[in-house]
């Protein structure tokens, strides 16, 4: 058994971590930190955990005697938190602070980009993981087999829509109900921060890539989930492309290739990514769906933890079921 801590315990990703970890066969939740709610019961914030986690309360400070800590405080705050964490404690950071290689160090810590389907063996040997972004997870999983086989030979065009939880728990003009309901908007067109992760990954495995990646993200009028649609030039047939994807993901338990069109409810409340491939003229189209809070955040963080501690990769994650109705 290992003991874990969570910093930033009142947010969406922390709530998902707790819900998943209480059913993990190899984990004890030792400390959940919230400066705002310290000494209040965890179910005071995460109401659905009433009766699930006893009377456990939020801590003001992290218990030092833990094996791994999850940083859920939000973007730009992880470096400050790391100053108070023992060097013996492994770290999984859910912010964007260490995902880009030239910003991935803090003192003696060197963070590895934690997409299991990209570099599983390296994750097993790492003590510090930068958990990928939610959009970038879906996008990168859509193109990894192509990049591995040096088949990205033109510009890549992507559109994607995410639920309101992608903006975090803090209230803003664009995530409250009256604005989101019956509404949709594009934002950060061609400028979204997750593009850096996508481009970094492409160049990491296909260093001759010299084209552009165009990304248009949308805010959706639902609470959770991401669907991305990507297209790029391909000289292979649809069947040949499907064979590449099936071969690449055959050892990755959470990525599935569908032969029929997909919809977002297939992955909500799961750690799955489902891909659907189409071919129109000379363009390969890849549709991807994930739950932004699980495969796009907390579930992937647990997947990384399982690899770091040599647990079964699916522990704590395979019991999840999609919500169809």
Q: What pLDDT, in 10s, does the model give residues 286-310?
A: 999 999 999 999 999 999 999 999 9
Name which of 71-75, 171-175, 192-196, 274-278 the model is least confident about.
171-175
**Every domain range in the chain assigned CATH 3.40.50.720:** 2-132+295-308
Q: Which two tokens stand for residue 119?
A: 């570099």
More confident call, 180 vs 269:
269
**Every domain range in the chain assigned CATH 3.30.360.10:** 134-292
CA distance 220 to 288: 16
Whole-number average pLDDT of the chain = 93
pLDDT digits 0-9 by tens, 134-185: 999 999 999 999 999 999 999 999 999 999 876 666 666 676 777 778 889 9
HEC string of 127-171 equals CEEECCCHHHHHHHHHHHHHHHCCCCCCCEEEEEEECHHHHCCCC
Backbone dihedral region of 262: left (phi > 0), alpha (psi from -120 to 50 degrees) or beta? beta
More confident call, 209 vs 170:
209
Asked if the model's pLDDT at residue 122 lies above 80, the reply is: yes
Contact status, residue 86 vs residue 270, Cβ threshold 8 Å: no
Contact status, residue 214 vs residue 270, Cβ threshold 8 Å: no
End-to-end CA distance of the chain: 36
* Cα three-residue angle 272-276-282, rounded to 5 degrees: 145
Q: Which two tokens stand for residue 161?
A: 């829509």
CATH 3.30.360.10 given to domain 134-292: yes
Which string of b and e fits 301-312 if b means at least 16 CB within 10 Å?
A: bbbbbbbbeebe
pTM, entire model: 0.94
pLDDT at 319: 73
If DSSP codes are grouped into helix, strand and coil, which group holds residue 123?
Answer: helix
CATH number of 2-132+295-308: 3.40.50.720
Q: Which element (helix H / strand E) includes 5?
A: strand 2-7
Catalytic annotation, residues: 134
Residue spans of beta strands (DSSP E) within 163-240: 185-186, 213-219, 226-233
């Amino acid at each position: 058994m290992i003991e874990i801590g969570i910093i930033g315990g009142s947010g969406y990703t922390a709530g998902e971590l707790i819900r998943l970890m209480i059913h993990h066969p190899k984990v004890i939740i030792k400390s959940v930190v919230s400066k705002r709610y310290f000494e209040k019961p965890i179910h005071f914030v995460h109401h659905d955990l009433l009766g699930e986690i006893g009377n456990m309360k939020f801590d003001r400070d992290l218990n030092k005697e833990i094996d791994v800590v999850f940083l859920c405080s939000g973007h730009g705050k992880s470096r400050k938190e790391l100053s108070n964490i023992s060097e013996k404690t492994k770290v999984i950071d859910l912010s964007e602070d260490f995902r880009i290689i030239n910003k991935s160090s803090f003192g003696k810590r060197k963070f590895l980009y934690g997409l299991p389907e990209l570099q599983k063996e390296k994750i097993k040997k790492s003590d510090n993981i930068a958990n990928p972004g939610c959009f970038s997870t879906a996008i990168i999983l859509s193109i990894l087999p192509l990049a591995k086989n040096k088949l990205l030979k033109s510009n890549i065009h992507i559109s994607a829509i995410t639920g309101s939880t992608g903006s975090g728990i803090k209230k803003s003009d664009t995530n409250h109900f009256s604005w989101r309901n019956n509404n949709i908007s594009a934002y950060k067109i061609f400028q979204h921060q997750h593009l850096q992760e996508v481009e970094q990954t492409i160049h990491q495995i296909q260093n001759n890539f010299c084209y552009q990646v165009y990304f248009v993200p949308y805010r959706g009028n639902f609470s959770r989930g991401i669907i991305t649609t990507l297209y790029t030039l391909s000289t292979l047939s649809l069947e040949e492309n499907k064979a590449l994807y099936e071969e690449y993901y055959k050892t990755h338990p959470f990525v599935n290739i569908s032969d029929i069109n997909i919809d977002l409810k297939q992955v909500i409340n799961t750690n799955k990514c489902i891909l659907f491939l189409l071919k129109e003229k000379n363009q390969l189209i890849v549709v991807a769906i994930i739950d932004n809070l699980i495969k796009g955040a907390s579930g992937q963080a647990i997947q990384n933890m399982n690899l770091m501690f040599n647990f079964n990769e699916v522990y704590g994650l395979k019991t999840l079921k999609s919500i169809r109705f």
